[in-house]
Amino acid sequence: MAASMFGLARATGEVKPLPEAGLRTTDPEAYWLKIRKDQFFLPEWRAFLNNGSLGVAPRPVVAAVTEFLENAAALTSDEYPRWGYETLDAERAEMAGFLGCKKDELAFTHCATEGISTVAMGLDLKAGDEVLLTDHEHPSGKAGWQQRAQRHGITLREVPIPHPPRDSAQLAELMIKAIGPKTRVLSFSGIISPTGVVMPVREICDAARARGVVTFVDGAHMNGQIPLQLSELGCDYFAGSPHKWMFAPAGCGILYIREENLDRLWPSIVTGDWDNKPLKAARFMKVGTNNRATIVGMMAGLRFLKALGPDNVYARIHDLARRNYAMAAARPHLEILSSADHRLYGSLVTIGFKGAKLDDLWKKARERKIWVYGSPQLRLSTHIHTRVADLEAFYSLVDEVLLGKKG
**What letter would DSSP give residue 345?**
B
Does 218 participate in binding ligand PLP (rule CB under 6 A)? yes
Please name which of 340, 330, 322 lies closest in space to residue 403, comparing C-alpha atoms. Answer: 330
When the beta carbons of 253 and 267 are compared against ligand PLP, the nearer one is 253
Regarding 142 and contact with ligand PLP (CB under 6 A), the answer is: no
The burial class, CB within 10 Å (0-12 / 13-18 / 19+), for 217 is: buried
* Residue 338 touches ligand PLP, criterion: CB under 6 A: no
State which residue, 4 or 53, has the beta carbon closest to ligand PLP: 53
Residue nearer to ligand PLP on the CB measure, 91 or 218: 218
Residue 241 interacts with ligand PLP (CB under 6 A): yes or no: yes
Of these, 46, 82, 138, 364, which contacts ligand PLP (CB under 6 A)?
A: 138
CA distance 350 to 378: 5
292-308 vs 59-74: helix axis angle to the nearest 10?
150
C-beta of 244 vs 318, nearer to ligand PLP = 244
The SS3 assignment for 12 reads coil
Stretch that binds ligand PLP, among 133-141, 270-278, 295-303, 306-314 (CB under 6 A): 133-141
Number of residues that bind ligand PLP (CB under 6 A): 14
Q: Which of residues 343-372 bind ligand PLP (CB under 6 A)?
A: none
Residue closer to ligand PLP by CB (options 349, 393) is: 349
Q: Is residue 294 close enough to count as binding ligand PLP by CB under 6 A? A: no
Q: Which of 140, 183, 291, 338 binds ligand PLP (CB under 6 A)?
A: 140
Interacting residue with ligand PLP among 208, 220, 282, 361 (CB under 6 A): 220
Q: Are 262 and 247 in contact (CB under 8 A)?
A: no
Beta carbon nearer to ligand PLP, 58 or 190: 190
SS3 53: coil
First vs last C-alpha separation in the chain: 39
Query: Among candidates 143, 223, 214, 237, which has minimal Cα distance to 191?
Result: 223
Q: Using the rule CB under 6 A, give the single segment among 6-14, 218-226, 257-265, 383-391 that binds ligand PLP.
A: 218-226
Helices (H), strands (E): how many in the chain? 14, 14
Q: In angstroms, what is the minimal distance from the CB of 283 to ligand PLP?
A: 21
Instruction: Please answer whether residues 237 and 119 qualify as being in contact, where contact means their C-beta atoms are separated by less than 8 angstroms.
Output: yes
- Find the shortest distance in angstroms from Cβ 42 to ligand PLP: 20
111 near ligand PLP, rule: CB under 6 A: yes
Q: How far apart are CA 50 and CA 405, in angstroms?
A: 25
**Alpha carbon of 160 to those of 136, 220, 397: distances in Å?**
8, 20, 33
Pick the binder of ligand PLP from 134, 193, 223, 347 (CB under 6 A): 193
Element (H, E) at 275: none
**Which one of the spans 26-34, 109-117, 124-132, 352-360 is the region binding ligand PLP (CB under 6 A)?**
109-117
- Closest distance of CB 78 from ligand PLP, Å: 33
- The smaller minimum CB distance to ligand PLP, of residues 220 and 299, is found at 220
Three-class SS of 228-272: CCHHHHCCCEEEECHHHHCCCCCCCEEEEECHHHHHHCCCCCCCC
DSSP class of residue 286 equals -
What is the contact surface with ligand PLP in residues (CB under 6 A)? 53, 111-113, 138, 140-141, 189, 193, 218, 220-221, 241, 253
